[in-house]
Amino acid sequence: MLVHQPLNVLPPSHTQSLIDNGPRGTAPSPTLQLSPSTATASQARAKDQAAQFVDPASRTEAGGRTRALALQQTVAARDLLYHPGDTLRSELGLAAGKAHDMISRLGDLQAPLGGHLFGPEGLMPGEKPQALLRTLQRLMDDVPAGSNSATAKDRSIMIALMGDIGAILSSTTTGVERTPGQDKRLREAIPGLLGLPYSAAQSIAPTSALGGSGTIGPAKKQERIKPPNAQPLRTGVHNLGKEADDLLGIKSNRLLPSRWDVAQLKKERVDNTAEPLIAHMSGTQAETLAVWDMLRGEQRPYTRVMDGLNERPDLANDPMAQLPPAERDARYARAAGTAAFLISNGYHSAVEVLGGTLAYTGQDGQSVVGPRQDAGHLFGQGAATQLIGELLNTQRAERA
């Protein structure tokens, strides 16, 4: 495949031609009485499905290059959350201030908003809204950057909250401790509290069209299943978080493991992709970044750079050049922070967040792959770890 324009997720000083880089359980179903022929057919289908889909972590368990890439990206992602640079600290703190104000005015919807965070699969299981507000306050106190009042867990919670809000606005949230009526009320309340000029659906629709999983992962529904499983505690890509923290020398305030459904992916995709896969291409990346933009007052959340490029195609070699330097730096920080959250906790891998990152920075990765393909087909042999890793490293605090 010929790539006519190099796709770069990094600032110009860090660019690199890519041509050269060679979550939920359900109640058990009622017992059915099957005839022998029906049972045999059912067993055959189950056996066939088991042969077609595998836990993608099996590649890492076997060792080799996939494991090395999984550890490399987990180290980079967790390192950033432990040691964020000034721009990322500020972007998190300022967004936390807006979120704190919004939650404080939600009244009886405070607990439903945190339904996922406070639930068994969340990062604050069993906690209450006041604990979330205290977390946001620590992030607010981290501005100006450098006060060191916040922890990596605080940063993860904040980014998870933005993803949860994005799921509420886009009506993609499922399986959390919240009723449909509460979801509806939150969708109606949040846009006004954030000062958005449109309804929830209108506010998030452009984001879904550009960076939703249906766009950046067109075959996701056919290539992923979520069979019932025990939801083991995990952290980091393929559960390599503890090993990454050991390598980083993190002694205290480590990111904690959490539970979520283990996805299985088509065996052919896993076998043919050196990059670690977890849950297929991430639409959460786009939803999270859209809400982060909203909290920072962006009127065209998530799509601003791509919208500008459509108006100024002459900027194709550096789409981010249309932004003032401070806004450009802030956007790179948000992209890096969101990717770091998803990778460090093990929800998605570098190749799964790359498509959403490209779109956020004005680069249409889908235009250079086939109609049923995704970033894994173009960047799946090691380029994704390198590109996302460099983006994360540019946002890390300077080393002493």
Give the pLDDT score at 154.
98
Give the pLDDT score at 110.
97
Cβ-proximal residues to 120 (8 Å cutoff; 6+ apart), any chain: 259
At residue 396, the 3 state secondary structure works out as: strand
The answer as to whether 225 is a domain residue is no
Q: Which domain holds residue 103?
A: 54-215+236-252+260-394
Instruction: Reduce the secondary structure of 65-99 to three states and give it as a string.
Output: HHHHHHHHHHHHHHHHHHCECHHHHHHHHHHHHHH
Give the pLDDT score at 143.
87
pLDDT tops 90 at residue 113: yes
Confidence label for 371 from pLDDT (cuts 50, 70 and 90): confident
The answer as to whether 45 is a domain residue is no
Summarize pLDDT for 85-105 with one digit per residue, the tens.
999 999 999 999 999 999 999
- Specify the DSSP class assigned to residue 29: P
Most confident of 43-52, 196-205, 355-364: 355-364
Give the pLDDT score at 31.
33
pLDDT tops 60 at residue 34: no
Burial class (CB in 10 A: 0-12, 13-18, 19+), 97: middle
Cβ-proximal residues to 152 (8 Å cutoff; 6+ apart), any chain: 78, 81, 82, 253, 254, 255, 344
Residue by residue, DSSP assigns 175-239 as SSS--HHHHHHHHHHHHHHTT-SS-HHHHHHHHHHHHSHHHH-TTHHHHEE--------B-SGGG
**Percent of all residues in the chain with a pLDDT value above 70, rounded to a whole number:** 86
What number is the average pLDDT over the span 182-199?
Answer: 93
The answer as to whether 38 is a domain residue is no
Q: How far, CA to CA in Å, does 11 sit from each of 5, 103, 390? A: 16, 34, 10
pLDDT tops 90 at residue 57: yes
Q: Write down the pTM of the prediction.
A: 0.88
What number is the average pLDDT over the span 221-242?
Answer: 93
- Helix intervals (H) in 272-321: 284-295, 304-311
The answer as to whether 223 is a domain residue is no
b/e code 273-305 from CB counts within 10 Å (16+ = b): bbbbbbbbbbbbbbbbbbbbbbbbebeebbbbb
- Tokens representing residue 74 in the block: 């987990």
Question: Taking a C-beta distance cutoff of 8 angstroms, is the pair 391, 384 a contact?
Answer: no
Burial class (CB in 10 A: 0-12, 13-18, 19+), 15: middle
The answer as to whether 15 is a domain residue is no
Domain count within the chain: 1
The answer as to whether 9 is a domain residue is no
Summarize pLDDT for 259-297 with one digit per residue, the tens.
988 999 999 999 999 999 999 999 999 999 999 999 999
What number is the average pLDDT over the span 334-339?
Answer: 98
pLDDT tops 70 at residue 108: yes
pLDDT tops 50 at residue 382: yes
Residue by residue, DSSP assigns 129-142 as HHHHHHHHHHHHTT
pLDDT tops 90 at residue 55: yes
Closest CA to 326 of 315, 338, 334: 334
The answer as to whether 224 is a domain residue is no
The answer as to whether 273 is a domain residue is yes
Q: Which amino acid is at 208?
A: S
Strand-by-strand arrangement of the 224-225 sheet? 53-54, 264-266, 224-225
Confidence label for 144 from pLDDT (cuts 50, 70 and 90): confident
